């Protein structure tokens, strides 16, 4: 019997990842978890002065988009946007990948890095790869997105059907 015919009959281990609600929810959850790791590194770098960014990028994006707000509002909205974006990124990765692991996660992190450095940093006025401020921003944002991607790929790979654990096995593991 073909895989497509088996998937139509509803065997949970043969359902494509994008059609499995539990798998998609797992992608969102691990996306948020990977964002926690990335955000901790980002805030540690900014608060210690090691990071070349003048302020955390999510906060800079909220301030640039919404204008002057009190710091608690900027921080809350920046974190909400960042975790929402991270969860959505996990959803996209879980939906598109056939095999989640450190390598596919790192590759996905590079794609997200290109998105932020070619779209969002110029939107902030920081230039492509942050070069209007310092070329070091490009390297720092690459490191952060590699942290996100490898964390996401590693965590999601634990439950990905392509890694040998089925969605049925995932149900048992999450109980």
Mean pLDDT of 71-86: 95
Q: In this predicted model, what pLDDT tens digit does every residue of 17-29 receive, in sequence order?
A: 666 777 778 889 9
pTM of whole model > 0.85? no
From the list 118, 105, 83, the residue with the least C-alpha distance to 149 is: 105
Residue 23 neighbours by CB distance under 10 Å: 21
From the list 173, 175, 148, the residue with the least C-alpha distance to 158 is: 173
Q: In this predicted model, what pLDDT tens digit does every residue of 40-63 receive, in sequence order?
A: 999 899 889 999 998 899 999 999
Q: How confident is the model at residue 97 (pLDDT cuts 50, 70, 90)?
A: confident
Q: What is the pLDDT of residue 99?
A: 81
The torsion of the CA quartet 93, 98, 104, 109, rounded to 10 degrees, works out to: -10
């Amino acid at each position: 019997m073909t895989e497509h015919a088996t998937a139509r009959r509803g065997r949970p281990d043969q359902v494509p990842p994008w059609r499995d609600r539990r798998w998609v929810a797992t992608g969102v959850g691990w996306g948020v978890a990977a964002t926690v790791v990335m955000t901790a590194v980002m805030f540690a770098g900014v608060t210690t002065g090691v990071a070349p960014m003048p302020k955390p990028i999510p906060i800079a994006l909220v301030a640039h988009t919404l204008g002057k707000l009190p710091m608690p509002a900027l921080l809350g909205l920046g974190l909400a946007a960042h975790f929402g974006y991270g969860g959505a990124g996990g959803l996209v990765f879980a939906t598109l990948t056939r095999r989640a692991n450190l390598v596919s996660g790192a590759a996905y992190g590079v794609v997200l890095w290109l998105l932020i450095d070619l779209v969002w940093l110029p939107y902030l006025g920081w230039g492509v790869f942050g070069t209007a401020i310092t070329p070091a921003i490009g390297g720092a944002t690459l490191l952060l997105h590699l942290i996100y991607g490898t964390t996401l790929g590693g965590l999601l790979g634990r439950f990905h059907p392509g890694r040998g654990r089925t969605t049925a096995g995932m149900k048992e593991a999450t109980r």
